[in-house]
Amino acid sequence: MKSLVAQSLCAVLISAAVPAWADIGRDEAAAVAQRVAAGRILSVDKTEAAGRPAWRVKVLTGQGEVRVILIDAATGRVVG
């Protein structure tokens, strides 16, 4: 019985932690950033912006410029 309670508690704790990153995935963040700064995606990493979970996307533009686009992980909006 203790094992079942422990497993249930672990499942609840894990599911509570997931939603911060579950709304907008890595691929979706890359697609948003590519629409903002057309070019080749160099990297997509988890970060925080204004205390909220965000994706940090590096894009190499056609002009050879590297742009960093921050995407809110919950809404998919560009935050920086």
How do the pLDDT tens digits run along the chain, 80 residues long? 556 555 555 554 444 444 444 489 999 999 999 999 999 999 999 999 989 999 999 999 999 999 999 999 999 999 97
Give the residue extent of every domain in the chain.
21-80
Express each pLDDT in 10-20 by its tens digit. Answer: 554 444 444 44
Give pLDDT, residue 29.
96
Residues in CB range of 58: below 8 A, 6 or more apart: 41, 42, 43, 44, 66, 67, 68
Bridge pairing between strands 52-61 and 66-72: antiparallel
**pLDDT averaged over the chain?**
82
Express each pLDDT in 37-49 by its tens digit. Answer: 999 999 999 999 9
Task: For domain 21-80, say whether CATH 3.10.450.40 is its number.
Answer: yes
